[in-house]
Amino acid sequence: MVKNLLLERKYVVLQGPPGVGKTRLAKKISEDLNAETFFVQFHAETSYSDFIYGIRPSINTKDLSYEGEEGVLIKAIKKAQELEKQESKENVVLIIDEINRANLSNVLGPFFYLFEYQQEQSEINIEIAPGLKISALPKNLFVIATMNTADRSLAVVDFALRRRFAWYSLQPKVIKAPSFYLNDFLEFKRIFDWFATSNEMALQPGQGYFIADSEDKMVNRIKYELLPLIKEYLQEGLLASAKEDFNNYFVNRIKVPLYE
């Protein structure tokens, strides 16, 4: 489904809570397309010069000098252009992990205009690096971004960006694996289904939290990952009505109450 959506729309955001496998799915789709993959993870300090093109001081000379440095987007574009010239059927996939952690207006700059899946060649050329002007992104370049819906500190994504990307939501799900602790997953799902509001459902930990090689490792995951996560939610005023059920779960499962 997501692979077909990507081929149709070119630019897709996989959104969902932590642990649902967003990044893993993005990499798998790229592998399925037999594409050359470029990967970058955004953070609060990511800038245009990091992602597209910037000037850096050279550390290889005694005298102070500066040199241009291409960001991952330029590298992906050049690779796609190279494959097009070779008339290759190969594609290029750029994975942007945690796309909503950066200030996207600052990161994309004038390049924002080109993220349009129906964009055709036009008379408007945008210079994205010295000697490199383009009016449209290569047709063999695809972008898969991921977004964590549980991160409450992040700004709402710009509506203009939403229009340019297709959005696919991933939900926590049961998986068939010997290392998957089904009962723990189902108990969390029960609590969220019963107590969470529609907005709070985006906070439910994904299936990745419930995979462990042994009982001891699963207990540690509950104690040092899930318990602190639920504490943080409650401290922010989220899932308040579920406090008692969560407390009962942790006491019965690992003998540790939410609050000592």
Q: Which domains does the chain have, with CATH numbers?
A: 2-169 (3.40.50.300), 182-254 (no CATH)
* Contact yes or no for 253/220 (Cβ under 8 A): no
Tokens 């994309």 appear where? Answer: 108
Residue 129: the pLDDT is 75
pLDDT of residue 155: 47
* 14/174 Cα distance (integer angstroms): 19
Tokens encoding 151: 């991160």
Q: What is the pLDDT of residue 158?
A: 63
Q: Average pLDDT per run of 10 along the chain, which is 260 residues long? A: 90 91 94 92 88 75 72 91 90 92 81 70 70 83 90 58 84 93 97 94 93 96 96 93 96 91
Q: Is the pTM of this model over 0.75?
A: yes
Half-sphere exposure of 7 (CA within 13 A, CB side): 10
Q: In this predicted structure, what is the pLDDT of residue 230?
A: 96
Neighbours of 31 (CB within 10 A): 11
